[in-house]
Amino acid sequence: MSDTSLTIDNILAPELTLCRVPASSKKRVLETIAEHIHHQDEILSDTEIFSNLVSRERLGSTGIGQGIAIPHCRLEGLDRVIGVLMTLEESIDFDAIDNQPVDLVFALIVPKEATSEHLELLSQLAEKFNDNGFCEQLRQCQDAASLYQRMTAAS
């Protein structure tokens, strides 16, 4: 176990906080996540990230209900955890467990080896997103800066 425990505010960068993203489908959301990560770090392949996210979704939707999805995957050769927070312009079908459309997405890309840290982050995210008031605050953000601030202030 490392000395610095992973928290949402040390894996989420302002550049990977996206507000009111137009997306027509789950596939488009996953593509947008992969493209933005690649744009931030060109060493990372957007094709590989997208492919890994899609593979994970095939195991079961990461739509956790109440309009929220936490797509995640492992990535070979990654040396840190990357988070991407997005609110969507319009809710989309994400095959969520409650069959509700999704408009709040937090993607998590973790190193291939990360296991307990990965699960700890998923747990932190699920706990935050379990708070309806907090989710409503995120949904009301009008720009990426306020969205980032709201997400990290509460951790």
Q: Which residue in the list 36, 38, 39, 72 is annotated as catalytic?
A: 72
pLDDT above 90: residue 28: yes
Non-local CB neighbours of 95 within 8 Å, separated by 6+ positions: 26, 57, 61, 63
Instruction: Enter the pTM of the model.
Output: 0.93
Type of residue found at 92: I
pLDDT digits (tens, 9 = 90+) for 77-128: 898 999 999 999 999 999 999 999 999 999 999 999 877 877 888 888 888 9
pLDDT reading at 3 higher than 60: no
Q: Is the pLDDT of residue 51 over 50?
A: yes
Query: Is residue 155 in some structural domain?
Result: no
Average pLDDT for residues 35-60, to the nearest whole number? 96
27 vs 139: CA distance, rounded Å = 21
69 falls within a domain: yes
Identify whether 76 is part of a domain.
yes
Instruction: Report the domain count for the chain.
Output: 1
Res 38 pLDDT > 70: yes
Minimum mean pLDDT range among 34-43, 67-76, 83-92, 113-122: 113-122
Q: Is 36 designated active site?
A: no
Q: Residue 60 falls within a domain, yes or no?
A: yes
Q: How would you class 51 by CB atoms within 10 Å of its CB: exposed for 0-12, middle for 13-18, buried for 19 or more?
A: middle
* Parent domain of 145: 12-150
Look at residue 154 in the predicted model and tell me its pLDDT.
53
Mean pLDDT, rounded, for 21-35: 96
